[in-house]
Amino acid sequence: MLEKGQKVKAKITAIVNYGAFCEVQEQGEIIKGLIHVSEISDYFVKSVDDFLKLDDEYEVEVIELLKEKNQVKLSFKAIRPEQLKPPETKIKETKSGFDNLKTSVESK
């Protein structure tokens, strides 16, 4: 049985503007899946087929199981660090409020 966070092989069966449909084989059973465009890369995805090709297999990560529908949501970017943006620098909240924030932003 598939579990959230598990890495699986997915065969691309259709490419649409919002992602790619695929099939995952699990214990002889075929489970339908979707890799949404937001799970392909943190960077701008002009075309899904710049990343995924029809009938090719890719290692992906399970991010959600829809057991009642026998479907799975998958992530291409989760196991590919090059598709993830680096963490943003967080500005700490201070008691001084926006004046201190403005100074902090302008000094960078």
Collect all residues with Cβ–Cβ distance below 8 Å to 29 and sequence separation of at least 6: none
- The pairing of beta strand 7-16 with beta strand 57-66: antiparallel
Q: Say yes or no to pLDDT of 37 above 60.
A: yes
Q: What percent of the chain has pLDDT over 70?
A: 81
Q: Give the domain ranges of the chain.
A: 7-106
What is the CATH number assigned to the segment(s) 7-106?
A: 2.40.50.140
Q: Output the pLDDT for position 86.
A: 84
Q: Say yes or no to pLDDT of 98 above 60.
A: no
The answer to whether the CB of 58 falls within 8 A of the CB of 15 is no
The answer to whether the CB of 8 falls within 8 A of the CB of 23 is no
Average pLDDT of the segment spanning 92-105:
61
Q: How many CA atoms lie within 13 A of 43 on its CB side?
A: 11
Q: pLDDT tens digit string along 50-79?
A: 999 999 999 999 999 998 999 999 999 999
User: What is this structure's pTM?
Assistant: 0.78
Q: Is 43 left (phi over 0), alpha (psi -120 to 50) or beta?
A: beta
